[in-house]
Amino acid sequence: MSKSLFDKVWEKHVVLAEDESHPATLYIDLHLIHEVTSPQAFAVLKERGFNVKCPEKTLATIDHSTPTIMDENGEPLYVNAQAKKQVNLLLENTKTHNITTHGWDSEHRGIVHVMGPELGATRPGMTIVCGDSHTSTHGAFGALAFGIGTTQVGHVLATQCILMRKPKSMLIHVQGGLAKDVSAKDVILAIIARIGVGGGTGHVLEYKGECFTAMSMDERMTVCNMSIEAGARAGMIAPDQTTFNYLEGREYTPKDEAFQTACKAWAALKSDEDCAYDKTVILQAADIGPMVTYGTHPGMAMPIDAIVPQAVDVAEENALSYMEVEAGTEILGRKIDVVFIGSCTNSRLCDLRSAASYFKGKQVAAHVRAIIVAGSEPIKKQAEAEGLHDIFTAAGAQWREPGCSMCIGMNGDIGKPGELIVSTSNRNFAGRQGPNVRTILASPATAAASAISGVLTDPRSIKLGAYNEL
């Protein structure tokens, strides 16, 4: 029988097959952990006297509650004592259980979904979980990767397995090539706008089409990252030469002959031509332009130059009211207060390079705070080697230490009530970036162009030379 990429990866990891009376027991190849969703799981292990079954298949970092600014002695400036306690507890727990941890002293520390791929710990065909919904990011490598709750973090620590019924499959086929100046972020926002914020519930997505094969790994990660914003726990892209080139030479990637052997096995990880999906959605790449959100969930997204649509229900009416947006009007040109470039969605080198091309030789508008946060220490280092940080700081933007930062605001990086933020992150939920703070999700290009002009700006208009007229 023909199989999809998802079928192939799933089947290879079944320890005990599901039947009517019980779910499948699924083996996990890589368990990523961080400070926020693991403390209660370690407490259960301690309470019940269990050890971590496979410390070597567990990898930890600190990213959510970590500050992005340091004091004069280079010490992290925590938002409060509880955040510091949480970070220190992760460091203690992982030390107790011999888990490799990229803490403050590691040159690899970063947002968990940036760090895993960078280390080559994320590889095709693996099952990867983390107590974090954006674990879907790792599907860019043809891995089956999804977020779990803290109880399941405990299960994986103790048994390296989880209990789960096999989700349904959905093919997202984007046909044709993208127009110039349209980014991976625009593609995924267009997909979510099309299928809806709950459209992927119960499904694993597979992204197929020239649009994705032409993307770099950084871009594919942006797409898979936001699968969860359509309600899908996971999103996958078949591995190819781009994937293998990315992985070669990384710390956890097999070396030499073992790498060649691995590549051969990885190359077989693709859906059979005639395999069946529970659902198929087809989009035309040529129809996709720069996208922004106008409401309070990622499905409320539209082309940047479109008119805000009528609310379909009370929740959407409330969303428009929260955003102070009126149906039937444009959102383009709206005055903004803050620009955030970062998060597990858009904090990689290609994102920073794209942003820098708009900042170069320009000044951030006087009324705008622009905050740029690299996804990891290696990205920060490379960006600095390329002089990107000089471009940002010369323009008046802040260049911070790596972490989740303003995407989730747990570390105190939040907006002020009433502020409007153009953010390259993944969630525009009410209050996500601070109480009564409003968020417009956009690509790094749109965010950077808007930082300079001080209003929501179509990045294509900058390239067209309209910049000076704004």
Partner 1 sequence: MSFDPVISITSTTLVLPASNIDTDQIIPARFLTVTGKEGLGKLAFYDWRYEKDGSDTDHILNTNAAKACQILVAGHNFGCGSSREHAPWALYDYGFRVVISSEIADIFHANSLKNGLLPIVIEKSAHQWLLDHPSENVHIDLERQKVRLPKNGGTYSFKIDPFSKHCLTHGMDEMDYLQDQIKAISAYETNL
> Which parts of this chain interact with partner 1 (CB under 8 A)?
15-16, 20-23, 25, 27, 36-37, 39-40, 43-44, 48, 50, 53, 64-65, 80, 82-83, 85-86, 89, 131-133, 147-152, 154-155, 158-161, 163-165, 167, 197-198, 201-202, 228-229, 231, 233, 297, 299, 313-315, 318, 408-410, 414, 417, 427, 429-432, 435
Residue 2 is encoded by which pair of tokens? Answer: 């023909």
In the complex, what is the shortest distance from the CB of residue 438 to partner 1, in angstroms, rounded to a whole number?
13
Q: Which residues pair with 89 in a beta bridge?
A: none
Cβ-based nearer residue to partner 1, 114 or 300: 300
In the complex, what is the shortest distance from the CB of residue 470 to partner 1, in angstroms, rounded to a whole number?
33
What angle separates helix 81-96 from helix 39-48, to the nearest 10 degrees?
50
**Phi-psi label, residue 196: left if phi above 0, alpha if psi -120 to 50, beta otherwise:** left
Residue 264 is encoded by which pair of tokens? Answer: 């051969």
Cβ-based nearer residue to partner 1, 182 or 234: 234
> Buried b vs exposed e over 272-307: b needs ≥16 C-beta within 10 Å?
eeebebeeebebebeebbbbbbbbbbbbbbbbbeee
In the complex, what is the shortest distance from the CB of residue 278 to partner 1, in angstroms, rounded to a whole number?
14
Whose structure tokens read 């930082």?
451
Cβ atoms of residues 127 and 360 within 8 Å:
no
Q: Which residues pair with 440 in a beta bridge?
A: 422
Q: In what order do the strands lie in the sheet with 338-341?
A: 398-400, 369-373, 338-341, 420-423, 438-441
Q: At a CB cut-off of 8 Å and minimum separation 6, what does 135 contact?
A: 32, 113, 128, 129, 145, 146, 147, 148, 234
Cβ-based nearer residue to partner 1, 257 or 313: 313
In the complex, what is the shortest distance from the CB of residue 357 to partner 1, in angstroms, rounded to a whole number?
31
In the complex, what is the shortest distance from the CB of residue 442 to partner 1, in angstroms, rounded to a whole number?
19
Q: How far is CA 345 from the centre of its chain?
A: 3
Coarse DSSP helix, strand, coil percentages of the chain, rounded to the nearest 5 percent? 35, 20, 45
Alpha carbons 34 and 64: distance in angstroms, whole number: 8
In the complex, what is the shortest distance from the CB of residue 65 to partner 1, in angstroms, rounded to a whole number?
5
Q: Classify 33 as helix, strand or coil.
A: strand
In the complex, what is the shortest distance from the CB of residue 230 to partner 1, in angstroms, rounded to a whole number?
10
Q: Between the CA atoms of 140, 145, 148 and 153, what dihedral angle is there, to the nearest 10 degrees?
A: -120
Cβ-based nearer residue to partner 1, 379 or 410: 410
Alpha carbons 122 and 108: distance in angstroms, whole number: 14
In the complex, what is the shortest distance from the CB of residue 332 to partner 1, in angstroms, rounded to a whole number?
25
Which one, of 435, 405, 427, lies nearest residue 301 by Cα? 427
In the complex, what is the shortest distance from the CB of residue 364 to partner 1, in angstroms, rounded to a whole number?
26
Alpha carbons 315 and 312: distance in angstroms, whole number: 8
In the complex, what is the shortest distance from the CB of residue 279 to partner 1, in angstroms, rounded to a whole number?
15
Cβ atoms of residues 134 and 426 within 8 Å:
yes
